[in-house]
Chain A
Amino acid sequence: MDKEKVLRDADATFDRVSRTTSVSYGATHATKPNTSPSYKSARIRKTYDANVQGDVMDAKAAIKGYVKGK
């Protein structure tokens, strides 16, 4: 197998396909904006993590309060 020829074919196909294909089949996440926290920047991810931790703390406080109330 001629590796150089195969790679030239690969480059030509990539150029042709990337100009014309929008990858609409299967990859719905690739064509629509993803608004999930996992898709945002690292800074937002950290904020998200902090919020999740905050939720956990709130839950703990709520449980504590519930137990105290009992």
Chain B
Amino acid sequence: MPSKKTGGFIPNPLFSKAVIRSRYRDLFYQCTSFKESWNVSEPIKHDFDGSILYAITVCAMHDIARYKIYHLQDPALEKLDAIKRAAFYTKWITRLHPFYAVRRGTIVKKYDDHDKIFFANESFALSFALNQLRADDRVKVNYRISPELWAALLYDMKYRVLSEDAYIETYQMIFDDSLGQRPTLQ
């Protein structure tokens, strides 16, 4: 239940409301950017829900706080790496689905089994995660995964049951690949 002091905002054990707001702004901006490029290339327009983005941010930041408290010696000072951040955000984006199709009267397009429009949320989750990985100085800014891997990951996010631990392992291997190293597991 929302507390009387903070309204609907649920206090995080590590992060202040200002920090969560800044993460929300980042996510909101990337969502807007993704939506604009998606709507140019895809026949059915999509939009996103700001309140679901809020839930994603709050939930992911709670996961991050819990991970830091348990695994880091000094949770308040040490930062979590990009792989874990990407994994926790992917988990919540694929669960809560911020993007939805905007219906305009009659449907003018037929669907097929390999249609990209079924994967708007998963596409955003993966592109957001790769942006997180690219934020690491060691990863090249223009690093990309192969189209085959991209498609396989989208399929797994949509139809398989993947936990945050599975995402951490997957992103660890992608991260190693981006550095030209053999994939390792955590």
Contacts and interface: CB of A to CB of B under 8 A. Distances in A.
Nearest to B21: A14
Interface in A17-51: 17-23, 25-27, 29-31, 34, 37-42, 45
B8 A20 contact: yes
Interface residues of B, number: 33
Interface centre among A13, A17, A45 (most CB of B within 10 A): A17
Interface centre among A29, A40, A42 (most CB of B within 10 A): A42
Interface centre among B33, B51, B73 (most CB of A within 10 A): B51
B118 interface: no
A37 B70 CA distance: 8
Contacts of B21: 11, 14
Contacts of A19: 7-9
Given A22-B1, A26-B95, A26-B96, A6 B66 contact: no
A37 B69 CA distance: 10
Contacts of B95: 26
Nearest to A49: B70
Interface string B52-95: 01110011001000100110011100000000000000001001
A3 interface: yes
Contacts of A67: none
Contacts of B51: 13, 17, 21
B28 interface: yes
Given A10-B29, A14-B24, A27-B62, A45 B70 contact: yes
B22 to A, nearest CB: 10
Contact of A34 (B24, B28, B66): B66
Given A1-B33, A30-B10, A39-B13, A23 B54 contact: yes
A15 to B, nearest CB: 9
B147 interface: no
A42 B69 contact: yes
Interface string B113-133: 000000000000000000000
Contacts of A22: 1-2, 8, 10
Given A6-B32, A7-B28, A20-B7, 14 more contacts: A3-B29, A9-B28, A10-B28, A11-B21, A14-B54, A17-B8, A18-B7, A20-B8, A22-B8, A29-B62, A38-B66, A39-B13, A42-B69, A42-B73
